[in-house]
Structure 1
């Protein structure tokens, strides 16, 4: 049901502030999956173990975490062996840097971190920002613990006096010019992993493996005229993850629908999704099969349920940029603050088709939300999402959507406050049906 303008603005502001807290708690994909689990457990969801048996009866709220991915669902009391699923999909990783082996490096009296580029970040946007390290540590007994530092690192830019042409063409060498500083001294007398171990409360000597990435240390914030803007790191794609979590929390109360509501958060989208916790891996199909088996479904009934199901793949898209209008389609030009976007591509880089567009527009209308369309300029290559991957793996009807942003793949991206809230409202409508 549409909200009045003041009520919508208040709800959107509260939602954006909650997103800022969510991003701060989720500096890595592993932290994001853990935060999804924490919030949903607080909302009454039961966490399941993949190595244990699962409940074999209709009804209930459940979630499972696999590495940096999480899937949660609500089963109505009247669910049967062929009950369909409505999935809201997103991803937990973001472009940036990842620690290499033997990460404590340095020269000339500076301590540095050995990092590798992860995904396709806008490298220049990472300059002159305080950065955190975050991720998981695997210990000598096989246990895993999450670790995150406060502001610890920085990639200092070379002064203009030493590069007079920096404003004309600034390009960073991915090896020699992207190694952040984190202290002073000699590398053989310091241990970067010990900093993480101390934050996690473990002995650094017990670390046997790690997956550690960088994250912008600055908190998300509303700003601009009437606070219409929201800036934060990792909006791609924690904005969608957060929208799905809030929508599922809200929809789970009094849930009485003819389908199963599901949130699917995958890892490794920024590097192709081809992992056990990525959209191209078996995680979602594993969960769906076990879910339907718990309802007594045979293979025929599972296929019937899939045929009646939907997946909404939610990821950020490009808002028209006022300084680079020529990079966008000359007619279809979504802008911040005018609603979430329906993403369309003739070459199926997005999974949206006519039935998907109709379904999405129907959910938006039911939620009282205005939607925009996005299509690329023909001369600019189009990115892709988990949508085509999920549709290909499962044969499930899939539509690609998201919110428009600027500064995509920057260390700090820019969204519209109202769009964040509107996406959540549509996701809740999807879940409730």
Structure 2
């Protein structure tokens, strides 16, 4: 039956990658947890943590990472053949940069609802609800009638010391109830909930009172309630992600945007080897709310990190600017697949499909950073590696979204290309992608990280093995 259209059981390697993503997502209910998981992966791979407040010692052949706010992480590996400054100054009659960066960047946050500092709303029927506000642009109706948990970070005081701690209640404690159809007969004609009332999650109908939220947080952290002096808490879906379909074609989970790209780029970065470049993995917070924070792509985090790496290697300001001119960024954030019920909403020539491979995204309004030069570099690498890919453009009469590539480029100017994995239901609380695309994205990004890319301005690029 399945062979009629060429279907076959899923490749075990692809399924291992898909299940690895699911496990990563399940342990990453918030941006703070995602950053912590990334750091754990880097620690296990032998990377050295360099805090921003410490002096940095960086050498060729070394692997390092830093973090900001507990929610953004940048890691780098210095190629063993990156030259000493004196040697680099003499390379290729002074025109070739002494070294280069090859970067991939994603984001750790996803659309959700943030719990306010003063959050507990007592109301009718003995109810206790939480006052929340939207974080990012989610599809509101998907959040109704789902048991939800709370997760994030809390600031705990012990004497004169205040410490940030991860918190996840690890059980369902809230729900946003729908109004019965008998009380809203037109609900299937139009649905526009009020975020200042309809979307407040219910946590009790009489057994809990105001003050219980900090009790729940304190209990999870095993501290006294008065020790919890501040918190960044978010609603999160605990539903387990899953691979599904008659031949396991699909993966559905919360937060695929953008943990799918964060996971794929991290795995590719750890696996790849490149002796002649400084390879970089970046995962920024706050993309869903504009990136204009101290830990977002518009912050100084990337420029601070790269310039400090340059200095720690013994290079000067001139060398740094020359290195940037020879460098390249792959901005990784998921893309819209053709919707089976609404193919007319996709560009007829650039509508990607699930399991079609990494998507190269382009837009004339520059909301994506891809141009002909960066597209040629990346697709040339993927062609040489035999990794399939596809293209995305918005319909010409529809405004598309934006991502972090051009935002980060306002701080560190690089040749850059925007890519992502094709998915359905972007910004739903449960999204769907192709199960094979996890492994395909890892292979594509590993090929990029490993490639010998020799860029000369925007005129010539030479691709080696």
Aligning the two structures, in what range does the TM-score lie when normalised by the shorter sequence? over 0.9
Tell whether the 8 Å contact from 1:111 to 1:183 is kept in structure 2 after alignment. Answer: yes
Cα separation, 2, equivalents of 1:366 and 1:404: 22
What residue number does 2:65 align with? Answer: 63
CA RMSD of aligned residues (A): 1.6
What's the CA shift for 1:179?
A: 0.3
1:127 aligns with 2:144: yes
Structure number with greater Rg is 2
What residue number does 2:455 align with? Answer: none
Identify the range of structure 1 (51-60 vs 172-181) with the bigger mean alpha-carbon deviation: 51-60
1:249 aligns with 2:270: yes
Tell whether the 8 Å contact from 2:274 to 2:449 is kept in structure 1 after alignment. Answer: no
1:427 aligns with 2:445: yes
CA deviations on 1:25-47 (whole Å, 9 max, x unpaired) are: 11110111110000110111111
Cα separation, 1, equivalents of 2:378 and 2:204: 50
Cα separation, 2, equivalents of 1:393 and 1:265: 15
Q: Which runs of 4+ in 1 moved over 3 A?
A: 5-8, 186-190
What residue number does 2:203 align with? Answer: 182
2:77 to 74, 77, 80: 74
What residue number does 1:404 align with? Answer: 422
Q: Structure 2 unaligned runs (5+)?
A: 1-6, 86-97, 452-465
Tell whether the 8 Å contact from 1:105 to 1:187 is kept in structure 2 after alignment. Answer: no
CA deviations on 1:212-253 (whole Å, 9 max, x unpaired) are: 1111110110011211000011111000110011112212xx
What's the CA shift for 1:77?
A: 2.0
1:372 aligns with 2:393: no
1:74 to 1:56, Cα distance in 2 relative to 1, 3 A: closer
What residue number does 1:47 align with? Answer: 49
Cα separation, 1, equivalents of 2:58 and 2:375: 35
1:136 aligns with 2:153: yes
Tell whether the 8 Å contact from 2:59 to 2:78 is kept in structure 1 after alignment. Answer: no
Cα separation, 1, equivalents of 2:63 and 2:139: 39
Tell whether the 8 Å contact from 2:368 to 2:418 is kept in structure 1 after alignment. Answer: yes
1:261 aligns with 2:279: yes
What residue number does 1:362 align with? Answer: 380
Tell whether the 8 Å contact from 2:107 to 2:259 is kept in structure 1 after alignment. Answer: yes
What's the CA shift for 1:139?
A: 2.1
What's the CA shift for 1:186?
A: 6.8
1:204 aligns with 2:221: no
Tell whether the 8 Å contact from 1:15 to 1:420 is kept in structure 2 after alignment. Answer: yes
Instruction: Compute the TM-score of the two structures, normalised by the length of structure 1.
Output: 0.95
Identify the range of structure 1 (285-294 vs 183-192) with the bigger mean alpha-carbon deviation: 183-192
Tell whether the 8 Å contact from 2:363 to 2:393 is kept in structure 1 after alignment. Answer: yes
What residue number does 1:238 align with? Answer: 259
What residue number does 1:113 align with? Answer: 130
What's the CA shift for 1:368?
A: 2.3
1:104 aligns with 2:120: yes
- 3-state SS of the aligned residue for 1:89? strand
- 3-state SS of the aligned residue for 1:54? coil
What residue number does 1:302 align with? Answer: 320
Cα separation, 2, equivalents of 1:272 and 1:165: 35
Tell whether the 8 Å contact from 1:390 to 1:396 is kept in structure 2 after alignment. Answer: no
Cα separation, 2, equivalents of 1:89 and 1:246: 13
Q: How does 1:276-291 map to 2 (within 5 A)?
A: 276-291=294-309
What residue number does 2:101 align with? Answer: 85
Cα separation, 2, equivalents of 1:8 and 1:51: 47
Cα separation, 2, equivalents of 1:248 and 1:283: 19
Cα separation, 1, equivalents of 2:58 and 2:349: 52
Cα separation, 1, equivalents of 2:356 and 2:28: 27
- 3-state SS of the aligned residue for 2:275? coil
- 3-state SS of the aligned residue for 2:426? coil
Cα separation, 1, equivalents of 2:274 and 2:415: 22
Instruction: Compute the TM-score of the two structures, normalised by the length of structure 2.
Output: 0.89
1:19 to 18, 21, 26: 21
Cα separation, 1, equivalents of 2:188 and 2:274: 58
What's the CA shift for 1:53?
A: 1.1
Q: How many residues align?
A: 426
Cα separation, 1, equivalents of 2:177 and 2:292: 33
What's the CA shift for 1:305?
A: 0.5
- 3-state SS of the aligned residue for 2:348? coil
1:173 aligns with 2:170: no
Tell whether the 8 Å contact from 2:32 to 2:153 is kept in structure 1 after alignment. Answer: yes
- 3-state SS of the aligned residue for 1:50? coil
CA deviations on 1:244-274 (whole Å, 9 max, x unpaired) are: 11112212xxx34210111000000000000
